[in-house]
Amino acid sequence: MKHSLVDTSNMELTEKVVTIKRVTKVVKGGRNMRFTALVVVGDSNGHVGAGLGKATEIPEAIRKGKEDAIKHLVSVAMDENASITHDYIGNFGSASVLLKRAPEGTGIIAGGPARIVCELAGIKNIRTKSLGSNNKQNVVLAAINGLSQLKTPEEVAANRGKSVEEVTA
């Protein structure tokens, strides 16, 4: 996953906790309980990131997860009706998330983890399907991977040395 090149200084970031897991390590003296929190942050304006925080207390794990998520913010290419610019399949591990653009009025049609990512990215119209693994952490990371790979028609046209009309036709 590529690191954040997004300036976070003047962003209003909202956070959502996707999962909190209790992890137990058995040691000679008994069991060590720790917590792992998967947190997604976004500004509802084309930036979203996910992070993992681990600590002995839940609030501390969530705080660490939020800090990690801010470090891993990505930009999302969106079109004029708050959907994505083209269909794409994001992969992470064995989890794949199919992202399909949708017309105005469709809303967010997505399962739990992918829905949170889309909402915090500011996408209003999208259809998604989680393929492969249903592991929440991998589904979130696959969705973010897919959203970060999206390109605008302008970028594609510039890469190919063509006009935007030639690319979108």
Contact 117, 92 (CB under 8 A): no
What residue ranges define each of the domains in the chain, with the CATH number in brackets?
A: 14-74 (3.30.160.20), 76-161 (3.30.230.10)
Report residue 24's pLDDT band, with 50, 70 and 90 as the boundaries: very high
What per-residue string of b and e applies to 3-40 under the rule 16 or more CB within 10 Å gives b? ebebeeeebebebbbbbeeeeeeeeeeeeeeebbbbbb
Query: What's the pLDDT at 152?
Result: 87
Q: Among 48-52, 82-86, 90-94, where is mean pLDDT lowest?
A: 82-86
Q: How far apart are CA 105 and CA 98, in angstroms?
A: 20
Query: What's the pLDDT at 7?
Result: 67
Query: What's the pLDDT at 11?
Result: 75
Q: Which amino acid type is present at position 27?
A: V
Report residue 8's pLDDT band, with 50, 70 and 90 as the boundaries: low
Kindly tell me if the per-residue pLDDT of 161 is higher than 60.
yes
- Tokens for 48, please give them: 């979203």
Q: Among 10-24, 70-84, 155-169, where is mean pLDDT lowest?
A: 155-169
pLDDT digits (tens, 9 = 90+) for 119-146: 999 999 999 999 999 999 999 999 999 9
Question: Mapping DSSP to helix (H, G, I), strand (E, B) and coil, where does residue 114 land?
Answer: helix
Kindly tell me if the per-residue pLDDT of 108 is higher than 60.
yes
DSSP secondary structure, 68-87, as one string: HHHHT-EE--B-TTSSBSS-
Residues of the chain with pLDDT > 70: what percent? Answer: 93
Contact 145, 89 (CB under 8 A): no
- Predicted TM-score (pTM) of the model is 0.89
Query: What's the pLDDT at 82?
Result: 86
Q: How far apart are CA 83 and CA 107, in angstroms?
A: 9
Report residue 3's pLDDT band, with 50, 70 and 90 as the boundaries: low
